Amino acid sequence: MAARNRATEQGLLRGIPATRIKLIERIAAEARQRIAGTSLDLRRRFLRGYFRGVGEEDLSQRAPAELSSAALRHLETGYQRPKGRALVEVLNPDLEKNGFSSPHTVISIVTEDMPFLVDSMGVALNKAGVAIHLLVHPVLWVKRDAKGRLLDVVHGAEDGAHSESWQFYEVDRQTDPAHLDALKEKLESVIQDVRRAVEDWMPMRERVRTIAANLLQEPPPLPPEEIDEAHALLDWIEARHFVFLGYRHYKLVRGEKSDRLVSDPRSGLGILRENRPARNEPKDGPKVARKSSTTLKGEVRDHARARELLILTKANSTATVHRGHYIDYVGIKTFGPRGEVTGEHRFLGLWTSTAYYSSPTDIPVLRKKIEKVIDHFALDPASHDAKAVLHVLETYPRDELFQASVDDLIRISRGVVNLYERRTVRLLARRDPYHRFYSCLIYVPRDRYNTEVRLAIEQIVADGIGGTTSGESQVQISDSNHARLHVVVRTDPNDRHTVDLDAIGSDDRVRRLPLRVRAPKHRNQQAHARVPRRNGARGCCSRELDDPPLVQSLLRPKHGF
């Protein structure tokens, strides 16, 4: 037994720097604090595995006894854990009560090891406005008895051992007990979402394969090219280009003045699973309420009835699993015998990094959009304009490329190419067909772009549209003369007032924008601006601002692309 324990201890520290091993051994030597049911050897093995992945700079900043006491409190919290139960403790530690103290609030988590756990906890804490000061997150291989009591910490997947995620956070101190309780409840809910998404990952992939196969076996009454491209996209996302978080089938119930999209609760998977526990989820865990039906009116109703196979958009909420971005929504409509839309298969998730960094010409649906845009302009592939259009589309914000219609892409591509590297500011915008947001591309002379300019532009477009920005802005700075700022302005879907995007370009603050971005040598020169003609395209605004050294015309060239 002694030889086996020595081998385990050596394995727990294998492959890490000698300096770190010395620091960890000092911590293990302080494992004198008694914990019911544990031996000194078990506590020391636990500490070796616990701090194995912590950098020397963090280990050396605190006394070994302090780190040992904090970790052993975590061990006491996680000593008994029933299968499928996530243990979450949120407290302001007290030396007398808890064996250690900290100027921060401490969060201790013990649960099954699953993908996305650490990412998801970070997302939850960020949304709560809580900064992380220290994070220790070992994956420990442990053995437990039938009641969940810890028997041993081992090195690797031995018989009877399973992996667990032990996470220890020091975060901004929370003094309100209600905030501590709310944070604990939120973290428990996120862990449940992670568990449901991970457990149903394979069933969701199988559902995609079934739907894709049915498109070919029982094709809907749509153009064959559209069906083939949808089939190719489903195959592509199933090949690990999409992080599946939830699935549910919805039935479209038509009415005289409005329709209803009614969910089939039994079809739910992942985060859209009905209020029933996961396979390893305790029945008394937190419940997740899901809306069973949605009323559709006006344009939204028209979109639901439209004879288009795919819906590629964003959901109304941000993800709690993996990344805190707005959830990607992939819908596949179903059709009746007369070609009418009868419902949809809805998948929620997140595009993977390959979906963002692969060439769009290699991605189904996107490649066809690009082909249609280029064909629309009937350009010689070897010409400068053809290459410019292709460059615009290949570097276009990828989420926008998935969501925007071909007509929108044609209009906006023309506006971008017509910049012709001129030192101007231009705004091009697209409205979400469900009236939830405006997507705005703003082009600013690269050498004039800075954070102050970004904040000013965000405020101008948010005020002009009558919405809010929520930290979704992205900037692209390349070898072009322009920096491209992508701003999403969220709006109330029920507020259907008309937004004059051209008027945003006439805002006095836009007139003063050149002064904000004036290069130092031009700071004392007066800038002049005036509103260009409308280009006749709905939902598009262009704003060009003079650069005194160049004294450019504000209007677009008469013979532009």
In a domain, 409, yes or no: no
Regarding whether 191 and 245 lie in a shared domain, the answer is no
Regarding whether 195 and 107 lie in a shared domain, the answer is yes
Regarding whether 268 and 339 lie in a shared domain, the answer is yes
Regarding whether 173 and 60 lie in a shared domain, the answer is yes
In a domain, 138, yes or no: yes
pLDDT of 499-526, one tens digit each? 887 777 655 565 555 444 444 444 333 3
Identify the band that residue 494 occupies on the pLDDT scale cut at 50, 70 and 90: confident
pLDDT of 348-387, one tens digit each? 999 999 999 999 999 999 999 999 999 999 988 888 888 9
Of the residues 168, 199, 230, the one at which a domain ends: 199
- The percentage of residues in the chain with a pLDDT greater than 70, rounded to a whole number, is 85
Q: Is 7 left (phi over 0), alpha (psi -120 to 50) or beta?
A: alpha
Q: State the pLDDT at residue 276.
A: 52
Range with the largest mean pLDDT of 96-100, 267-271, 416-420, 535-539: 267-271
Regarding whether 111 and 245 lie in a shared domain, the answer is no
pLDDT above 90 for 496: no
Regarding whether 207 and 83 lie in a shared domain, the answer is no
- Calculate mean pLDDT across residues 100-126: 97
Regarding whether 205 and 348 lie in a shared domain, the answer is yes
CATH number, domain containing residue 157: 3.30.70.260
Q: State the pLDDT at residue 532.
A: 34
pLDDT of 160-207, one tens digit each? 999 999 999 999 999 999 999 999 999 999 999 999 999 999 999 999
The whole-angstrom separation of Cα 535 and Cα 29 is 75
Identify the band that residue 535 occupies on the pLDDT scale cut at 50, 70 and 90: very low
Regarding whether 194 and 206 lie in a shared domain, the answer is no
In a domain, 402, yes or no: no
In a domain, 368, yes or no: no
Enclosing domain of residue 54: 2-199
pLDDT above 90 for 19: yes
The strand ranges marked E within 145-280 are 150-154, 162-171, 242-253, 259-263, 269-270
Q: State the pLDDT at residue 293.
A: 86
Regarding whether 190 and 288 lie in a shared domain, the answer is no
How many domains does one find in the chain? 3
pLDDT above 80 for 401: yes
Regarding whether 466 and 426 lie in a shared domain, the answer is yes
Q: How far is CA 413 from the centre of its chain?
A: 26
In a domain, 516, yes or no: yes
In a domain, 372, yes or no: no
**At how many degrees (to 10) do helices 40-50 and 2-12 cross?**
20
pLDDT of 268-295, one tens digit each? 999 999 865 555 554 444 444 456 789 9
pLDDT of 201-258, one tens digit each? 999 999 999 999 999 999 999 999 999 999 999 999 999 999 999 999 999 999 999 9
Q: State the pLDDT at residue 420.
A: 74
Q: State the pLDDT at residue 536.
A: 35
- The percentage of residues in the chain with a pLDDT greater than 90, rounded to a whole number, is 71
Regarding whether 208 and 112 lie in a shared domain, the answer is no
More confident position, 6 or 237: 237
CATH number, domain containing residue 514: 3.30.1360
CA-based torsion, 138, 33, 76, 44: positive or negative: positive
Regarding whether 216 and 188 lie in a shared domain, the answer is no
In a domain, 297, yes or no: yes
Q: State the pLDDT at residue 5.
A: 59
More confident position, 1 or 125: 125
Q: Is 8 left (phi over 0), alpha (psi -120 to 50) or beta?
A: alpha
Of the residues 165, 199, 233, the one at which a domain ends: 199
Q: State the pLDDT at residue 287.
A: 41
Of the residues 199, 231, 246, the one at which a domain ends: 199
Locate all alpha helices (DSSP H) within 39-116, ordered by sequence: 40-50, 56-59, 64-78, 95-98
Question: What is the average pLDDT score of the chain?
Answer: 87
In a domain, 33, yes or no: yes
The whole-angstrom separation of Cα 123 and Cα 187 is 10
